[in-house]
Structure 1
Amino acid sequence: MHAPSETQAVSGGQADDPPPPSSSRPLDHPGFVVFLTARTLSSFSSQVQAVAVGWQIYMLTHSARSLAWVGLAQFLPMFCLTLVAGHVADHFNRRMIVATCQGIEACGALLMAIGSFGHWLTPPMIYVMVALFGTARAFEMPSQQTFLPALVPPSVFPRAAALSSSLFQVASIMGPSMGGLLYGIGAGFCYSTCAMGFGLAMMGTLAMTLEAPVRVRRPMTLATVLGGLHFIRAQPEMLGAISLDLFAVLLGGATAMLPLYANDILHAGPIGLGLLRMSPAMGALVCALAFARWPLNRNAGMWMFVAVAIFGIATIGFGLSTSMPLSILALAILGAADVVSVVVRGALVQLRTPDEMRGRVSAVNMLFIGSSNQLGEFESGMLASLIGPVEAVVLGGVGTIAVTLVWMRLFPGLRRLDRLDDIRPAQ
């Protein structure tokens, strides 16, 4: 799943804007609407691009190893630069960082479109461009994740976070489908659509008004770069939420086995694989929409533990299933349970963290999430090769439940966490 806080603010920023109007409805805050639009466009474009890159590199090389190189090209910049990006987010204008990264992504997608139309885009060039996108995302995400607390008051945050998650899930569902359709016309059309989406996202980001303090820039040192890690260590509830998500995803990596299940166990073919891949996002979307209507504001910590346990049970159910409808249902429940963890962890990370630390803490959170996803796929694949896919998935689900029970004893403060809208920055 992710030293005492600095009391003096850090700089680069836009001038203070008036605080958002008080309202219990997130959509009543104009800046939040602009943020949702820009974030959704950026996420949608990233999903379309991922499909185009995967298909194109395989068509050019007909090598599964080439797909692995694409994954590595995306992962390495995040792993190497995320903590540095967190420092940058806390010392410079966050809105301009995000807009610059989205501009770089738009230019990169446009270059790939031109190369595809001209038939001169080669695999090494694709790897370089993917690494460029990975670098831009490494700097974009920690800054972008700090926007929500600056756009809505804490009382609205749980509902706003759920609505933001809902639109992210919509992008996760529509992006791959649209990418596949556009690739049928040509890779250049995919990348052109991405360039347009990233460009519109950049314009939306620039149009946002954020309430932000004037910051005093500090030199980059090991202490400032690692400040997010030190802060999280000093916050047991936040440490518990991030580490619980880390181990749950690391152990319960059922999604890594979807191609094998679709082909060898469920005998559903590529269409079945598409349905399986959509199922967690569909479940997550339904749950996120429910939270947007009925925010999670009572016994939030306990609900998080229950949801992670359900995540483990659903993983076991998927692992044992030989029925396509039952497998889809298990994956949808798995996706819905994951949203509970996302909402609680997001509230803790964004509301418990002082503004001058949010970039670095968000960067650590991103690093934990990215590492758990990547390592979870690796762990599931290696374990499946040793003991079999069904046994590997079921064992991962059992491990997730065991971790949940242990974490309930290790982090009693997280278990007792009640209202998300009462979370305040740590002093």
Structure 2
Amino acid sequence: MADQPPSTQPLGSGAVAFLSRDFRLYQLARVLVIIGAEAQTLAIAWLVYQITNSALYLGYTGLTLFLPGLLFVLPAGHVSDRFDRRQVIIVCYTLQIFCTLTLFFFAWHGLHRVWPIYTVLFLIGTGRAFSGPASSALIPHLVPKEHFVNAVTWGATMFQIANVVGPSLGGILYTLPLHHRIAGAAAVFLFTLVTLVVFVALMFSLRVRPGRMEHRAVSREVLLAGLRYVWKTQLLLGSISLDMFAVLLGGATALMPIFAKEVLHTGPRGLGLLRAAPAVGALTVSMWLTWKPIQRRAGARMLFCVGIFGAATIVFGASRNLWLSLAALFVVGASDMVSVVIRSSILQLATPPEMRGRVSAVNSLFIGASNELGEFESGLTASWWGAVRAVIYGGIGSLAITGLWSVFFPSLRQANQLTAESLLQVEQEEAAQQVRQL
């Protein structure tokens, strides 16, 4: 954890994590870059759908972003533990700058094919594959350990603020009456480019220098250590896989252009509202959690909220009214936020510092499977059954996963307080029970 002086504020106080300078700068940089990324994602989705008019091709955008995470999960985790995590992030986002610049030139010249977009998306996914574990593992270096859960909650809050602003701003920028060469997607990509440059500049200003956490040379054992640790730690495996399968089945993000255009009969601005609605719900809950953190029964609350996520997804799929759809997506985001805070806290608190990069890489792969691969799954099932039935069936699948995981992972159900000591106790009890069964 960061070498910070003790705070005079009580543990769990609303904004105590912001006492740390580097945490403040990092969150500012993160908000800006996520706003730009979300605006860019909306522009890419609308552009791809305009070119192809195909749900399957929308799904391919998610698959293209996911593949690098699958290919590079082991080296990405090792790089995060072997090298300075701040420097890893800077290198990855420098690559993102060149990718967004390329997208801008595509839009500037009026691109009418999708494969060049997929090529750039693969490079963006590669940068995310390496920056994701480094970013997650960097947080404990920015705040004292007693402020860590507060930092995780505020990190999730900042993420949702950006998710509210990003899609809405992207929809507005896309429809601004600008010169035809920079109107539409080009205007969005130019905005994203600015946010990326500012992000890299702010990362250079951080004082923290984590250095190497893993000093062993690269080997098969070192590369696989994160996977093995997650597999044997049932609490980690249960929390990560629950989120992956629930969002993989229940995610409807990739299909929102279809819902905006063909089901709810709105345009890019309506798409921006749909993309922002889950973030508004998540932001509302995350702000509540900064002042009223989860004190007990964390695992049971996570399972309950994932069930609500599935039910709200079903309502969204069945809705034909914009306001009902927005309300359902609000609940989707609100329930998912509880899961995000609990899972992110478990991930870092139940993992030794020297392995956080590799374990975070495994988590990033699971998140990529739930988000980007989930977009491909949504596009594929929508091409089979139609967008509406694909979303409804996915919500039903999320409910089924929640019930199964409550049985398969009793340690997740029994997790109580979000502290390293409490989580360790749950794992020890689970291990002792397995020994008795043998």
**1:169 and 2:160 matched:** yes
Query: How many pairs align?
Result: 411
Cα offset, 1:425, TM superposition: 8.9
Of 28, 45, 49, 2:40 maps to 49
Of 142, 148, 166, 1:151 maps to 142
Of 328, 331, 344, 1:330 maps to 328
Of 193, 196, 199, 1:198 maps to 196
Of 401, 415, 418, 2:416 maps to 418
Aligned residue for 2:401, secondary structure, equals helix
TM-score, structure 2 as length reference: 0.83
Residues 1-400 of structure 1: pairs in structure 2 closer than 5 A? 18-19=3-4, 21-22=6-7, 23=9, 24=11, 25-54=16-45, 61=51, 64=54, 70-110=61-101, 112-113=103-104, 126-183=117-174, 184=176, 185=178, 186=182, 187-210=185-208, 212=210, 214-215=212-213, 217-268=215-266, 271-384=269-382, 386=384, 389-400=387-398
- CA offsets 1:275-333 (integer angstroms, 9 cap, x no match): 32221111111111111121112211111111111112212322333433222211111
The answer (yes or no) to whether the contact 1:158–1:296 under 8 Å persists in 2 is no
State the alpha-carbon separation in 2 of the partners of residues 294 and 320 from structure 1: 34
The answer (yes or no) to whether the contact 1:45–1:194 under 8 Å persists in 2 is yes
The answer (yes or no) to whether the contact 1:241–1:414 under 8 Å persists in 2 is yes
The one-letter amino acid paired with 2:85 is R
Counterparts in 2 of 1:231 and 1:40: CA distance versus 1, 3 Å: same
Segment drifting more, 279-288 vs 414-423: 414-423
Instruction: Report the RMSD for the aligned CA atoms in angstroms.
Output: 3.1
Aligned residue for 1:146, secondary structure, equals helix
State the alpha-carbon separation in 1 of the partners of residues 107 and 63 from structure 2: 22
- Runs of 5+ consecutive residues of structure 1 not aligned to the other structure: 1-15
Counterparts in 2 of 1:278 and 1:134: CA distance versus 1, 3 Å: same
- 1:13 aligns with none
Name the % identity: 40
Cα offset, 1:372, TM superposition: 1.9
Counterparts in 2 of 1:256 and 1:19: CA distance versus 1, 3 Å: same
- Runs of 5+ consecutive residues of structure 2 not aligned to the other structure: 429-438
The answer (yes or no) to whether the contact 2:66–2:373 under 8 Å persists in 1 is no
The answer (yes or no) to whether the contact 1:351–1:424 under 8 Å persists in 2 is no
Cα offset, 1:402, TM superposition: 2.5
Counterparts in 2 of 1:351 and 1:227: CA distance versus 1, 3 Å: same
Counterparts in 2 of 1:128 and 1:396: CA distance versus 1, 3 Å: closer
- 2:400 aligns with 402
- CA offsets 1:29-82 (integer angstroms, 9 cap, x no match): 1111011012222212222333444455667x5564765654444332222113
State the alpha-carbon separation in 2 of the partners of residues 234 and 81 from structure 1: 22
- CA offsets 1:372-395 (integer angstroms, 9 cap, x no match): 223433444444555555544333
The answer (yes or no) to whether the contact 1:115–1:121 under 8 Å persists in 2 is no
Cα offset, 1:239, TM superposition: 0.7
- 2:431 aligns with none
- 2:435 aligns with none
TM-score, structure 1 as length reference: 0.85
Counterparts in 2 of 1:396 and 1:56: CA distance versus 1, 3 Å: closer
Cα offset, 1:344, TM superposition: 0.7
State the alpha-carbon separation in 1 of the partners of residues 5 and 69 from structure 2: 32
State the alpha-carbon separation in 2 of the partners of residues 119 and 259 from structure 1: 20
Segment drifting more, 384-393 vs 175-184: 384-393
The one-letter amino acid paired with 1:19 is Q
- CA offsets 1:73-111 (integer angstroms, 9 cap, x no match): 433222211321111111111111111222232344345
State the alpha-carbon separation in 1 of the partners of residues 347 and 70 from structure 2: 20
Cα offset, 1:397, TM superposition: 2.5
The answer (yes or no) to whether the contact 2:214–2:355 under 8 Å persists in 1 is no
